[in-house]
Amino acid sequence: MSQDQNTPLREDVRLLGEELGSVLREQAGDSLFNTVETIRQAAVESRSSGEMQVDRLHQLLDPLDNDTLLEVARAFSQFLNLANIAEQRHRERLHRQHQRFSGDPDTDRGLRQVLAELKNTNRSTDDIHTALRDLSVELVLTAHPTEVTRRTLIRKYDHVADLLAALDRPDLTQEESRELRRHLHEQILSAWSTDEIRRERPTPVDEAKWGFATIEQSLWQAVPQTMRAIEEELALAGLPPLPDNWVPIRFASWMGGDRDGNPNVTAAVTRKVLLLARWMAADLLLRDVENLLADLSMHKASEELLAQTGPSHEPYRLILRRVRYRLRNTRAQLEARINEQQEPAGAVFHSGQQLLTELNLIDRSLRAVGLSAIADGQLKDTLRRLNCFGITLLRLDIRQESTRHMDAIDAITRYLGLGNYATWDEQSKLDFLLAELDNRRPLIDEDFYHTDFCDGDVREVLETCKVVAEQGHEGFGAYVISMAKKPSDVLAVMLLQKIAGVTQPMRVVPLFETLDDLNNAADTMSTLLNIPQYKQRVLEGQEVMIGYSDSAKDAGFLGAAWAQFSTQEALTQIFRNHGIPLTLFHGRGGSISRGGSPTRMALLSQPPGSVAGRIRVTEQGEMIRFKYGRPSVAAYNLEQYVAATLEATLMPPAQPRPEWRNQMERLTEVSVQSYREVVRDDPALVAYLRTVTPETELRRLALGSRPAKRKPGGGVETLRAIPWVFAWTQMRLMLPAWLGTGTALEQALKQADEADTLGEMSREWPFFQGVVDMLEMVLAKSDTRVASWYEERLTDNEELIELGESLRERLAHTVSALQQLTGRESLLDNNPVMRWSIRVRDPYTDPLHLLQAELMARLRERENDAVLESALMVTIAGIAAGMRNTG
């Protein structure tokens, strides 16, 4: 990207910085402003000189009292949030202009480029049309606790972004510009005057409402906007139009359904979230219908429609009033259920098809009487929303850990006098489960629920399945089994649904997470497919989820990435042999060690044939806001998913060469061993994590409804992957994303033949290119000097100091090995925008890192200091904003 193209971004950053400085002067006086500015200048000079002048920054921070430390932390944190707004606004600007960041891996090719390349490769119009028609992209919104910004501040930041967009208009008068600047100042003042920190941990229902708000404020507009853009691209490419009801994008959610390790998600919570989602869908559709009522005043109508309305000057409004009446009743009845009140009488919509029938009648009539242009307006947008969101808004997944299902079945077999299911061998479990799945008689009676066998955990599993039975299939997606290991784990959930009386069962999706589970996934699924009863149940398709978080925590980034690739290859081949469509569900997060790579890179780095027109992906926490928080950005990212899925389906990468596979096997063997000798085998690692990183302090932050640990006590293995990544990111060591990889690359590069092979892989293999690009990005964000600050302030333990020195040395060797592989002297030489983004943030994150280490030390001496605790929470939020991908 040229300097000229980058100028608006720099101007926006400067503008927002000036307004924040003005607010600081007004609200806190010149003293605080001057303190902040002096610290910032010192940090800029420190970075510019190439030497981190830590002593200079310490001298400026040490004399400050606790109250001043809090205000300083808030100032730097606010700037980083404003810088993020400016950067996102710049992406919107470039997307609108159909320009591209040069070398920016966050930018992908649009549908126009993909369609042009498909034509150049002589793909037939029929092939492209068929692939698009069958395309399925499902994005699953999750509430992983990395979104540290309060919703109230997010709204203010959205207003700031809107004002930046308005200031971009070339035809602004001076008076209009002044007025917009005044509003901008107001919003920044409002943000400064708002507490950044969530004081109460959100409930699962709060998290679900946050997801609903993303749909209401952005995705409701973005979906029809995306579809219109796709429609235009297909017409430009000379492709025939797709069916009117074609919407290749769907949304699901884990918010209120993900109970793995979260005791706060209960059957009652899941029921309430389902009802709230339906209420929101009815409310949004009602708004659409009100708009249609205002617009569809014409009198010309088809005989089919007039047969329902009779003679009328406004027949469409008669139909729409009927629809409005039923939607109002639907909303009122749902509200009564939510509030546990008596439901009002009246006709309601029980299914999306009922509402589609009414709106399609209007659509057909308009087209039949020559009013297609009217039909292609707001009505078409509403139909597309209905086809995308249904009357349930989202499809809710249920997720539970495999042993919870085993315990429930075990309680039942003990109650029936059949023995301890949990102790049976795998074949005995399969024989029992298959026999009961085919048996028509009930397995248990109501008496079971009143016995000691049905304890709290068992009851909760069964109550959840009862909610599935009572709420109907339309609002549900997949039943995901975390820590799935064996075929019986899958059949157990099928049986539990049968016991609960589920007539249209949720599809059961095993989630393979650890390295061993990924390596055994093919055998598990092959065993299931060789069972005739099971194969018959999944003839229309099977979904398998690939875990990124726990596999990376278990084996390191490189080992996990290769295991994920190999597992997908094996599964793709097995299901192809059985003639059963396979959908791979990717449990990706925002960080590199959790699969967080740009859309096109992520899809093209999958094994050839594994996408096959169908993809399901989790979108988490701060990534939802970053990618889908604003309609124009959301529309861009949705189109990217469609384009990348089409490209990966019809132009998949070539099969990796045998020598590349062999090289990856050698690399991952060394990488996993090197990673585990630190994470598993070094007894000082857990103490280092809890002493030198803010892992312990993160628990003070009301991030999400889920506990930070799967189980109380224990070491790294009990930590959830998200806080594990978050803690290392906060102090810039970024350990989960590179540990082990550098050792593997370093060893391979010492051998001339292996070095040549690595060079070929990085040039020609999208999978390995993705690994290298993401590793380079995360290493550019790491900083050994910053990491050492925490150590210097927080420990004098020789064992921990020695481990820290070893880790920083490993990091330096990883950087050196990557530079040798890429041939680039500096990290991100090929990505100037990201390099600039990191550089502009460093003078604001450096003081926050120093402050965080100091505050951690002070708080550990005085635990109940509210000011220190608030200041620490602000540094956590500020650093998260500065790092962008936190966990």
* Helix, coil or strand: residue 340: coil
Give the DSSP per-residue string, 316-336. HHHHHHHHHHHHHHHHHHHHH
Rounded Cα–Cα distance for residues 73 and 65 (Å): 12
- 272 catalytic? Reply is no
Rounded Cα–Cα distance for residues 718 and 537 (Å): 35
Rounded Cα–Cα distance for residues 649 and 608 (Å): 8
When comparing pLDDT for 825 and 403, which is higher?
403
Q: Check whether 872 has a pLDDT greater than 70.
A: yes
pLDDT range class, residue 106, cuts 50, 70, 90: very low
Residues whose CB is less than 8 angstroms from the CB of residue 653 and which lie 6 or more positions away in sequence, other chains included: 604, 605, 608, 765, 766, 767
Q: What percent of the chain has pLDDT over 90?
A: 70
Tokens coding 615: 């993809």
Rounded Cα–Cα distance for residues 51 and 53 (Å): 6
- What pLDDT score does 195 carry? 83
Query: Per-residue pLDDT tens for 44-69?
Result: 887 777 666 677 888 888 888 889 99
Structural domains of the chain ordered from first start: 1-99+831-887 (no CATH), 280-389 (1.20.1440.90), 659-830 (no CATH)
Residue 426 CA, chain-centre distance (Å), reads 35
Rounded Cα–Cα distance for residues 260 and 258 (Å): 6
- What pLDDT score does 374 carry? 97
- What pLDDT score does 104 carry? 43
Residues whose CB is less than 8 angstroms from the CB of residue 137 and which lie 6 or more positions away in sequence, other chains included: 248, 249, 250, 615, 617, 638, 641, 642, 645
Tokens coding 188: 């920044």
Pick the catalytic residue: 553, 586, 627, 781? 553
Mean pLDDT of 13-19: 93
- What pLDDT score does 595 carry? 46
Give helix 766-781 / helix 798-822 axis angle, nearest 10°: 130
The answer to whether the beta carbons of residues 259 and 149 sit under 8 Å apart is no
Mean pLDDT of 416-439: 97
Query: Per-residue pLDDT tens for 327-348?
Result: 999 999 999 999 999 999 999 9
What's the chain's length in residues? 887
Mean pLDDT of 294-302: 96
Residues whose CB is less than 8 angstroms from the CB of residue 401 and which lie 6 or more positions away in sequence, other chains included: 260, 261, 481, 482, 483
Query: Per-residue pLDDT tens for 428-444?
Result: 999 999 999 999 999 99
Q: Check whether 795 has a pLDDT greater than 90.
A: yes
Q: Considering the chain, what is the average pLDDT of its residues? A: 90
- What pLDDT score does 84 carry? 86
CA proximity to 704, closest of 275, 77, 210: 210
Pick the catalytic residue: 144, 159, 486, 781? 144
pTM for the full model?
Answer: 0.90
Q: Is 100 left (phi over 0), alpha (psi -120 to 50) or beta?
A: beta
Rounded Cα–Cα distance for residues 390 and 497 (Å): 24
pLDDT range class, residue 102, cuts 50, 70, 90: very low
- What pLDDT score does 103 carry? 38
The answer to whether the beta carbons of residues 96 and 11 sit under 8 Å apart is no
- What pLDDT score does 100 carry? 42
- 144 catalytic? Reply is yes
The answer to whether the beta carbons of residues 714 and 755 sit under 8 Å apart is no
- What pLDDT score does 212 carry? 93
CA proximity to 871, closest of 881, 883, 862, 859: 859
Rounded Cα–Cα distance for residues 594 and 699 (Å): 20
- What pLDDT score does 140 carry? 95
Rounded Cα–Cα distance for residues 360 and 375 (Å): 10
How many helices and strands in the chain, by DSSP H and E? 36, 8
Q: Check whether 384 has a pLDDT greater than 90.
A: yes
pLDDT range class, residue 597, cuts 50, 70, 90: low
